[in-house]
Structure 1
Amino acid sequence: MRIPPRDVAAVVTAVLAPFLAALVLLPLRDSLTRTNLALLLVVVVVAVSALGNRWAGALAALSSVAWFDFFHTEPYESFHIRDRADVETAVLLLVVGLVVSQLAARARVLRSVAVTDAEHLERLYATFRLARSGSCSPEELVERVREDLVDLLELRDCRFSRAAEPDGGPLPRLEMDGALRAEGWIWDLDLQGWPDGEIELRAVARGRIAGRFLMTPTPGAVPAPLETRLVAGDLAGLVAFALQVPEGGASRDPAAPAITGHSMVDGG
């Protein structure tokens, strides 16, 4: 699975930022104590952790210790430390850097989760309000949810079909609980990424299938987190209720045309 560009940038920054900071601090080497120099490098570690991730923060802490040793302890421009006090400062820099990097990364994740949850709640409420108001037809609601799914899951394409079963046999299926099933097995999205080809997300109401969204992930895209996949399932459920599944069948009209991102008619 392709590594996200953000993570690649975080790793590169974790290696280079402490090196550049240590170089910038060279003119202050004789006027500042070793402890103060180490504290300034901790600031760099915090910045990397806040912008990147916890692994980048840990790498930045290690890089900071290495360049602190190389540029700011005697003998200079060597990874050997002669003075015991400098050894203690380097060890403290590593410990504090690691701890602070994890705290900063955790704070960034919590902040991101809070913002994402608020966005998900707003999206769900807007779609629910639209469905309840009756101001749009079921087809318009399907199109609204289709666009939401493309945005939420970073899809290359998405279409809706009322067919009872997809053509060509079973497809990998995104369940309402956020899990992905492929050929009867739970697909590990974190390790394997999205499977190739289309994935179905069923629109289910009262235990019956009103239709299915046939989704094509963007090649190389990182799968959305569980919370986002749960929102996708809830949106599909709203579509199912809007279509008012009858008591005796899998859909109101299994032969009805599908709705796609390119037109409102799809022969599939």
Structure 2
Amino acid sequence: MTFRLRDRVAPGLGAGLIVTGLALYVRRLRTIAAADAGYLRRLHDTAELSQAAGAPDAVVDQVGRQLADTLALRGWRFEYGNLMGHPARLAQDGEVIVDRQPWDLERRGWPEGEIELRAAANGHYCGRFMIVPAPGTVPSRQVRLVAVTLADHAGAALDTARPVADR
């Protein structure tokens, strides 16, 4: 009988690699699920706050803090009122627009300067978050859509707070 080490080691090694691969995959899925749960919690908390009567400024502040955390921002501010200028913009579909053209965020990173994230409700512009991303960060489209939805909650709170005659 001939003993071949390869015949004994290879099946065990293959099984070990499969188990290790599965363990890494499960760990990755748990990380994604935890992140998704965090995003859902933010959206839920903001929706509850935006439905509370008389709290639009609190919603704007909460959304700003959540945007800073979600998008890894270096800074943010909120501007009420009219649109001025043509800064880069994070659009409703999660795309970044620069000079009215799509910007390849994954390849080029965030554009320089402040980026506009509009807060609107019922087709009415309520204001905008001017965000300043941290260098080297590139959030996924999913994360950018969470940010857009958060801004929409701020818009809804501001729209609800407007006098009925202004709507």
The alignment partner of 1:181 has SS state of strand
Matching residue's letter, 2:61: E
List runs of 5+ in structure 2 lacking aligned partners: none
Q: Which residue of 2 aligns with 1:187?
A: 103
**CA 1:99–1:238 in structure 2 vs 1: closer, same or farther (change >3 Å)?**
same
- State yes or no: 1:176 paired with 2:95: no
Q: CA deviation at 1:153?
A: 0.8
> Residue in 2 aligned with 1:113?
32
How far 1:97 sits from its partner (Å)? 5.4
Once the two structures are superposed, residues 101-122 of structure 1 have per-residue CA deviations (whole angstroms, 9 ceiling, x without a partner) of 4423321221112111211121
Residue 150 (1) aligns with residue 68 (2): yes
Which shows bigger deviation, 109-118 or 181-190? 181-190
Aligned counterparts of 1:118 and 1:141: Cα–Cα separation in 2: 20
Distance 2:96 2:12 in 1: 44
Q: CA deviation at 1:96?
A: 4.3
**What does the per-residue CA deviation read over 1:118-176, in whole Å, with 9 as the maximum and x for residues that have no partner?**
1112111111111212252x22221111111111111000011124223xx32221122
Q: What is the rounded CA distance, in whole Å, between the counterparts of 1:95 and 1:155 in structure 2?
A: 44
Q: The residue matched to 1:224 in structure 2 has which SS? A: coil
Please point out which of 110, 122, 131 is paired with 1:206.
122
Structural RMSD (CA): 2.7
Q: Which residue of 1 aligns with 2:51?
A: 132
Q: Which residue of 2 aligns with 1:243?
A: 158
Distance change >3 Å, CA 101–CA 209, structure 1 → 2 = farther
Q: Report the TM-score, using the length of structure 1 for normalisation.
A: 0.53
- 1:212 offset after TM fit, Å? 0.8
TM-score normalized with structure 2 length: 0.81
Larger Rg: 1
Q: Structure 2 CA distance, aligned partners of 1:171 and 1:89?
A: 64
Return the offset for 1:92.
4.8
More strand by share: 2
- Code of the residue aligned with 2:65 in structure 1: it is E
Aligned to 2:159, the other structure's residue is in SS state coil
Aligned position for 1:224: 139
Is residue 90–residue 115 contact of structure 2 (8 Å, CA) maintained in 1? yes
In 1: Cα distance, 2:154 partner to 2:35 partner: 22
Aligned length: 162
Of 100-109 and 205-214, deviating more is: 100-109
Read off the aligned partner of 1:234 and give its amino acid letter.
T
SS of the counterpart of 2:4?
helix
Give the equivalent residue in structure 2 for 1:141.
59
CA separation of 1:172 and 1:91: change in aligned 2, threshold 3 A: farther
If asked which structure has higher relative contact order (CA below 8 Å, sep 6+), I would say: 2
Matches within 5 A, 1:1-268: 85-88=4-7, 92=11, 95-96=14-15, 98-134=17-53, 136=55, 138-166=56-84, 169-221=85-137, 223-244=138-159
